[in-house]
Amino acid sequence: MRTPLVAGNWKMNGTRASVAALTQGVAAGVAGLEGVEVLVCPPYVYLAEVAAAIGTAPVRLGAQDLYTAAGGAYTGEISAAMLVDSGCAYVIVGHSERRALLGETDGTIARKFMAAQENNLIPILCVGETLDERQADSTLAVIGSQFNAVADAVGIEAFSQAVVAYEPVWAIGTGETASPEQAQEVHAALRAMAAKRSAKIAADLRLLYGGSVKAGNAAELFAMPDIDGGLIGGASLDADEFLAICRAAAV
Ligand code: PEP
C-alpha cells in the first residue's frame, strides 16, 4: 500500500517569526493524525530552526532545491549533505518555477535527483505542462518527456526511493485546479510509463498532485486511485488549511 504524502512547499515566504508560528501550528496539529505522511519544505535559511521546532512531532523536513556538487567553490549553493545535516529527508527537484525562471533543464534535474539519492535524500520530482501545451493536446507527451528524461538517466530502480509530483503549470498559484478526472488521467499515464520499466516500482510509486490544492478540493482529488497525496504551495502557509488537507489524504 502507498502511504499518502502531503508536502508543503513554503517557497520564498516567511520570516523567522512566521515560520516558527507555522511550524508550531503544523507540529501541534498532526498529533494523532495517522495514515498520512506530512512534510514541510521551508526556505533553506529556516531549515535548522524548523527541524528544532518540529522536535519529535511526526512531520518530515524537506528542502526546495539542492545543488549537484558535493561541496567546494559554488557560491550561494547548498549541497545534499548540508540538507541532511540540517535534518532533511526529502528534497523537491524540477519545480516548474525553477524550470521556467531559473532555466533548469531535464539534465540538471536528473543530476539533482542523483545527488539527492547519493545522500539518502528522497527526491520529489516535479513534472507538469503549461497551458499552451495542454491546449495543444501535448500534456502526456510533455509529462512523458520530463519523466523519461530522468528515468533514462537514473534508472527506474531509483524510483523506489523517490516521489513524483504532477503539477500542471497553469494550476500553480492560479486558483485554478485540474479536475480530479484531469489529474487522474495524467497520474494513470505516469504510472503506466513507470510500469513499462518496472511494474513493481510503478505500483509502489507515490504520485502527488499539486496545483491550487485547498481544504475544499483536496478530498475529491485524493479520492482518485492514482493520486497519493499532494504538493501544496499557497495553502501550506496556513497551518489549519494545510492540516485539513493532510486529514483529507489520510487513509
Ligand atoms: C506548488 O508550487 O508546488 C504549488 C502546488 O503551488 P499552489 O498550491 O500554490 O498552486
Q: What is the pLDDT of residues 25-34, one digit of tens each?
A: 999 999 999 9
Let me know whether 55 and 156 are in one domain: no
Cβ atoms within 10 Å, residue 14? 19
Let me know whether 54 and 140 are in one domain: no
The catalytic residues are 95, 167
Query: Does 221 map to a domain?
Result: no
Q: How far is the CA of 99 from the centre of ligand 1 (A)?
A: 14
pLDDT of residue 1: 84
Each residue's pLDDT tens digit, 104-146: 999 999 999 999 999 999 999 999 999 999 999 999 999 999 9
Identify the CATH number of the domain in which residue 127 sits. 3.20.20.70
Which residue has the least CA distance to atom 4 on ligand 1?
A: 233
Task: State if residue 231 touches ligand 1 by the CB under 6 angstroms criterion.
Answer: yes
Each residue's pLDDT tens digit, 177-209: 999 999 999 999 999 999 999 999 999 999 999
Query: Does 124 map to a domain?
Result: yes
Task: State if residue 172 touches ligand 1 by the CB under 6 angstroms criterion.
Answer: yes
DSSP E strand boundaries for the chain: 5-9, 37-41, 59-63, 90-93, 122-127, 163-166, 206-210, 229-232
Query: Does 187 map to a domain?
Result: yes
- Is residue 111 a contact partner of residue 60, using CB atoms and an 8 Å limit? no
pLDDT of residue 64: 98
Each residue's pLDDT tens digit, 71-103: 999 999 999 999 999 999 999 999 999 999 999
pLDDT surpasses 90 at 65:
yes
User: Residue 230's beta-bridge partner residues?
Assistant: 6, 209
Domain count, the chain: 2
pLDDT surpasses 90 at 15:
yes
pLDDT of residue 167: 98
- Is residue 202 a contact partner of residue 192, using CB atoms and an 8 Å limit? yes
Which residue has the least CA distance to atom 8 on ligand 1?
A: 233
- Measured over the CA atoms of residue 196, residue 146, residue 160 and residue 111, the dihedral's sign is positive
Helix (H) or strand (E) holding 43: none
Let me know whether 13 and 130 are in one domain: no
Average pLDDT of the residues in 232-251: 98
The cell numbers describing 244, all together, are: 485539513
Q: Could you give the CA distance from residue 189 to residue 58 in angstroms, rounded to a whole number?
A: 32
Q: Which domain holds residue 136?
A: 76-203
Query: Does 247 map to a domain?
Result: no
Q: How far is the CA of 231 from the centre of ligand 1 (A)?
A: 7
Question: Please, what is the average pLDDT of the chain?
Answer: 98
